[in-house]
Structures are given as C-alpha cells and as structure tokens.
C-alpha cells in the first residue's frame, strides 16, 4: 500500500450492517473501513460468500487520496441502478477508504429503475446514519510520563483539550500516557502540558501515526 500524504480524511470507525425492506425485498447493507482496494475486494468477497443465496450483492467503494480510486458493480441489476447510486452516497458523505455491499433478497415485486436507485442508495444512507464517522488525522505520537496521583486528572484534561489518548501504561513508578498531537502543534502541546501538569509531566516523542477523531453528526 502506498504511503499517504498527511491530509485528513473521513471514513467509518467500525463495520455496520443495516437491513431495510422495500416492497417485500430485503436490502442488507454491509459497510466497512478498508485501507486499499485489495481489502475492499476481500470484504466484498466475504459478504458474497456469506450471502451466497441472495439474488444480488451490489458493491461500491472509494479508497485512497486524490485521485481516489472508485469502483461500483450492479451485480445483475439494470445498469446504473445499484452500484452507481451506492457510490454517489459515499461521495456525498465525503468518505474514502470505505466499502459498501448491498445484498438483495428479491421479494417478488419489481421496483423499476427509479425504485432500485432509491432502494440501493437509501440502504447505504441508512447504514451510514448508524455508523460512527471519524476523521483520520496525522499526529505526532508522544509518551507523557506522570505519577499515579495526577494520571486520572491529566488523562481527562488531555481528552477535554482535544488531544487523543491512544494508550495507558501503568507501571510501579507511575503512568505513561500515549497521546496523539496534531501535526505542527508540538510546541503548543508542550506549553499546554507544562501548564496542565505544573511542569511535572514531560513528553517523549515516539514518531508519527494516524489517529481517529469522531465527527459529530450534522
């Protein structure tokens, strides 16, 4: 997988499965986060294997940065009535590194082209409404060492200040809090930490990584 540039992007936090019914047809939408096209195709294959007895397993995914790689598949539905509207929902939500599979169990009633577009697009929209959307940000990872007495309060203050707490390591002598600091804000964080801990805590750089920040609905 090619290395990403340090540009924030939106994706889903965890897999989601949502079911809707339209004129007796069942539409099961499976959504997941992936890192590249290979993972997207593997997820699609797994869903198709799980729902092998369904009439259709239509798909759409977007991966990577600009230019993003987009793919969709109608899986036997009339051209442009399934994969395309699914892909459009992902685009409209501003997502990447995200795959959606809508499984249809036919209920015996034909929906027509417009009905199919609404059903497949609506299935993805409904699933994403239930998903936790996160912004992936490049961060500088630091280890903040403090004592047991101050650790709880400092952890809460870090979260309140918008610095993601990635891990806590309790030792016999104290607590090491692993924190994500947004790119370019190392000096600001050092000043904040000095004030918050009255100079008792220090930060040791560990490198860089991606971190999730939950995006509020609306």
The per-residue pLDDT for range 60-81, each reduced to its tens digit, is 999 998 788 999 999 999 999 9
In angstroms, the CA 92 to CA 101 distance is: 17
Instruction: Read off φ and ψ for residue 180, nearest 5 degrees.
Output: -100, 120
pLDDT value at position 3?
A: 53
User: What residues does CATH 3.30.230.30 cover in the chain?
Assistant: 9-131
pLDDT value at position 59?
A: 98
18: nearest Cα among 99, 122, 111: 122
**For domain 135-214, which architecture applies?**
2-Layer Sandwich (3.30)
Q: Which fold has domain 9-131?
A: Ribosomal Protein S5; domain 2 (3.30.230)
pLDDT value at position 123?
A: 97
Run of H or E residues at 153: helix 148-160
pLDDT value at position 216?
A: 57
pLDDT value at position 138?
A: 86
User: What residues does CATH 3.30.70.240 cover in the chain?
Assistant: 135-214
pLDDT value at position 73?
A: 97
pLDDT value at position 1?
A: 47
pLDDT value at position 168?
A: 93
Mean pLDDT, 10 residues at a time, the chain of 218 residues:
69 96 95 96 98 97 89 96 98 96 94 96 97 90 90 91 89 91 87 90 88 68
């Amino acid at each position: 997988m090619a290395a990403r540039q340090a540009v924030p992007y939106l994706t889903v936090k965890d897999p989601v499965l949502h079911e809707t019914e339209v004129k007796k047809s069942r539409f099961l939408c499976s959504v997941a986060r992936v890192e590249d096209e290979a993972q997207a195709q593997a997820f699609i294959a797994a869903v198709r294997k799980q729902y092998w007895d369904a009439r259709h397993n239509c798909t759409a995914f977007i991966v990577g940065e600009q230019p993003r790689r987009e793919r969709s598949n109608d899986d036997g539905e009339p051209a442009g009535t399934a994969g395309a509207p699914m892909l459009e929902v992902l685009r409209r939500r501003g997502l990447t590194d995200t795959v959606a599979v809508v499984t249809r169990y036919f209920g015996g009633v034909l929906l027509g082209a417009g009905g199919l577009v609404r059903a497949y697009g609506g299935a993805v929209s409904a699933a994403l409404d239930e998903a936790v959307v996160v912004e992936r940000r490049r961060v500088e990872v630091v280890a903040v060492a403090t004592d047991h007495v101050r650790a709880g309060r400092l952890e809460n203050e870090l979260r309140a200040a918008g610095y993601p707490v990635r891990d806590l390591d309790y030792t016999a002598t104290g607590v090491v809090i692993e924190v994500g600091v947004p790119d370019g804000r190392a000096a600001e964080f050092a000043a904040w930490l000095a004030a918050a801990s009255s100079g008792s805590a220090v930060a040791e750089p560990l490198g860089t990584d991606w971190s999730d920040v939950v995006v509020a609905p609306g």
